[in-house]
Structure 1
């Protein structure tokens, strides 16, 4: 996430299967909570102001794939399954419990009783089905991956695929046997379930909202997609029509000032929010975010520069650090240059990179050099993968052996962005560029604005080398490895059927211990094949002013701001 999730990917998930025994029964979350806050702990009407690094793409999370959007929408719209506060374990969300059939093709959700939407409508099984059926029946521009990346990644294509790149649909329908039950069916069990039901993109909307959405349409294609008006805060009669069940409700989106305002929903089914109002304000420059915090103009911001953590802490600010749950990597598009299809060249690139220096100079304390494409906090991490130590001479020898001593590569990197795994893209690029040039590789820089230019170009395989990463959505190795390597994609530009088949086989395995060992073997296979170079994993920091009781920080970057309050 969050992705965030992160870069849009034009790859199709395989039909890998995960038998439902993995997490056959969801743990019950606590029943409707009674507020334990004292009346004195509520704020006095002052808005909590949080600085975001970028604007949200949409107020409807179904049409988004980026963390800045999901940070906001998670406070307003809720999912069937949630994650424990500050952790990665799945717990009850709008569904108190859940289970699947032995084949993993039917997921039954037992909903909380007495949950109401912000517009007064009741949460029922039928409403859950209306939401999933809406996504399945998207047509036209809605089928563009830029709008429905997560639906296509987790549930496949649509009732009628109009986009030739849309995958085969996997959603097979939804039934509501009673008011508090929803049964969601899929054609083929998959490793993405049940984690997919916790993704912000699949938060449940009010039936009145769904009716209002039908009056708007997305339009355009490619880089000229126009989001539907409702998702941009342009509701009917001047009011935002998006209604969820969360502890906050939408108030406004002032695009001229880059501010989204949400307010406390007093009829929330759980513990009421500690803030009356939250303003998410876009401040794209990290230095400007820090200055705004120091000046008292905001109460918090995310992705604190590693060099600012000690200074802010010494000045009395709160700077908690999240757990490590991300992966930063150097991508290699093999089809973009014949030399990159040679394993010796890819190994040379890996040996050329001084990743420890990058970790020491660019990441916060707790950052580590990555040895594989998952962090060591995820089950399936292998201790015995092939590693590529920093060795410029070895890199030069491998290039010479491959006949690529005069190799020239275009290196893409993003601008106007800060990511949890990539706090300073330009600086990180410069370090890696210098390493490659020291090994004799001529590097041509290609900086691009993060969205849509950089994401579209890397997705289309338009770079020899590029920088990207991933923050896990839920704790399963497939959420990382399957994102990249479950089939052919233009951004990696390689065919390796043995690897693709191994990914599918791992997802089929019902025994947890056996499946985890299969993930370990996949990590060994991937690092021998070396499609790219994993660089690092890092614990991103978030800052708050002294007068705030901050929410518990999340390794998934899924903070619940309702937990916060003014001190």
Structure 2
């Protein structure tokens, strides 16, 4: 949730914020039949304090954590993620296998599954979903960020990885791709690529998304009728009371949700979420401030610290500020930041200084890279060599947000600002609300230097590097003479079928990024927490911040 993920209003008029695997097979041991047991289901209601409203209820157009938190309770994906990990396991597909060249993947589907409108989930439904995702209008292409991240393009164009879907009976599909990719099949675990009811999407015109201002007007389907195969069903969104209500899907193909209702209560202020939990008004919330961890545990709350699977970085865009085109300037900015002190003083226990643009648990991580040291004298020297001893730079940070990799943006900003000013850099402060211009403008390439981060979606190098370095936009590598080479090398590595060779290629790219290119400044990785009341158990903390609430038990 992983930069951010773009945030857009659910309805512009009414809502202000609302490892490549050769084959796999199911180890659940079930027959795929629906309605298999109650599994201790109760009539309880679980209320979770959400930091913001979802941008949409159609996950295909989702790009932010609050949207996906709701969507993943309603929808399932072909490939699932094993709870508590970043690794794949069977989902709506019980097994899959790829051709030797990686261009064709065959998925065997779980049988007996139905969408919550009663229509069958089968091979035809899968192909209709993929064809719908690939054939978007201009607004849809702008809104569906994750399809672009995985597939690269639309309508089977030259830059589109997806090239077609065919059925083999009702329980098998074949997906065809233009080339091999490290993101297939594991990238199909992304919530944006969830399977949705073709009947409901047709009936409520799911593709009728329109651009308006800086956001989008969502379809009737996306606002009122999201229809999946997940453990919960959409019930209502009360805009006035800022609550989203889901109810248990009693026909779910897997273990039934333990609670009858799941309510998301939108509480933007983190301190208010804490007080609401302590008062028993909500049953949990995400990203408690690290300074509150001990007091929450002392109060008997069930606080879980997730493994760190994220990167905080300082993005740079040389097209906005030509001074940043000089490698010596970028190196000086890096040497001037006391990252060891920043991590110790501003981030939770377990946070580490980053050596590259990914955490050390991701395939392709280069273990030989050392953290860039704090050296203000060297920073001053490099600025002098570049003729920029009087450098002035606009540094952006977001307000009204707390992120897994950035618990308190203003404190991190102030630490970096003080370090830069100590070496003679004039820092011009720019701040915007996270969902009120910051995301849109940084991703559109408006900010010369800005705080941003990324939580990985699954264990995949391209999910990090391929997201950070687009040819245009935020960290615009097109501004540099080596930009085309980096993009070509990333695509070549992603297309390498052999895992060992692919990881070696990514390790080399990581070294080049840090020693030769330095298009941005990776800062740290942090272990974020999630907290529930003393009477709530059963939720498995996810390094992807992708918890399944159907396992929650409320006593």
TM-score tier by shorter-chain length is over 0.9
Structure 2 residue aligned with 1:320: 304
Alignment correspondent of 1:547 = 535
SS at match of 1:307: helix
Q: 1:38 to 1:457 in 2, by over 3 A?
A: closer
Matched residue SS, 2:431: strand
1-structure distance, mates of 2:371, 2:295: 36
2:47 matched residue in structure 1: 49
TM-score by length of 2: 0.93
Alignment partner of 1:77 out of 71, 75, 78:
75
2:56 pairs, out of 52, 55, 58, with 58
Aligned to 2:233: 249
Query: Contact 1:99–1:108 at 8 Å: present in 2 too?
Result: yes
TM-score with structure 1 setting the length: 0.91
Separation of aligned partners in 2, 1:7 and 1:469: 12
SS at match of 1:379: coil
Taking the aligned partners of 2:69 and 2:372, their CA distance within structure 1 comes to 36
Q: What CA distance in whole angstroms lies between the structure 2 residues aligned with 1:172 and 1:36?
A: 36
What's the offset of the Cα at 1:189?
2.4
Instruction: Return the offset for 1:563.
Output: 1.1
Match of 1:389 in 2: 373
Counterpart contact for 1:457–1:463, Cα < 8 Å: yes
1:530 matches 2:514: no
Could you report, residue by residue, the CA deviation over 1:465-506 in whole angstroms, capped at 9, with x for unpaired residues?
101111111101121111123645453353323322322232
Aligned counterpart, 2:435: 451
Alpha-carbon distance in 1 for matches of 2:475, 2:493? 23
Query: In structure 1, what is the equivalent of residue 104 of structure 2?
Result: 106
Unaligned runs of 5+ in 1: 10-20, 162-166, 234-240
Asked whether the 8 Å contact 1:216–1:229 carries over to 2, the reply is no
Matched, 1:516 2:512: no
Number of corresponding residues: 539
- Pick from 335, 351, 355: which aligns with 1:351? 335
1:188, CA displacement in angstroms? 2.4
Determine the structure 1 residue equivalent to 2:130. 132
Displacement of 1:230: 2.3
Which whole-Å CA distance do the structure 1 matches of 2:435 and 2:426 have between them?
27
Label 1:139 to 1:308 Cα distance change in 2 as closer, same or farther (>3 A).
same
Instruction: State which of 524, 529, 546 in structure 2 corresponds to 1:558.
Output: 546
Alignment of 1:219-230 (within 5 A): 219-230=210-221
Answer yes or no: is the 8 Å Cα contact 2:250–2:256 preserved in 1. Answer: yes
Residue number in structure 1 paired with 2:469: 485
Counterparts of 1:181 and 1:89, CA distance in 2: 23
Deviations for 1:87-135, whole angstroms, at most 9, x for unmatched residues?
1120100000011212222221101111111111111100011111111
Root-mean-square deviation (CA), in Å? Answer: 2.2
Residue 368 of structure 1 deviates from its aligned partner by 0.7
Flag structure 2 segments of 5+ consecutive residues without an equivalent.
Answer: 9-18
Counterpart of 1:6 in structure 2 is 5
Given that 1:86 and 1:553 are in contact with CA atoms closer than 8 Å, whether structure 2 keeps it comes out as: yes
The answer to whether the 8 Å contact 2:180/2:494 transfers is no
Distance 1:258 1:392 in 2: 48
Match status 1:116 vs 2:103 = no
Give the structure 2 partner of residue 236 of structure 1: none
Distance 1:5 1:274, change over 3 A: farther
Answer yes or no: is the 8 Å Cα contact 1:462–1:491 preserved in 2.
no
Contact 2:181 2:497 in 1 (8 A): no
Paired with 2:317 and 2:55, the residues of 1 have a C-alpha distance of 27
Q: Per the alignment, do residues 263 and 215 of structure 1 end up closer, same or farther by CA in structure 2, a change over 3 Å counting?
A: closer
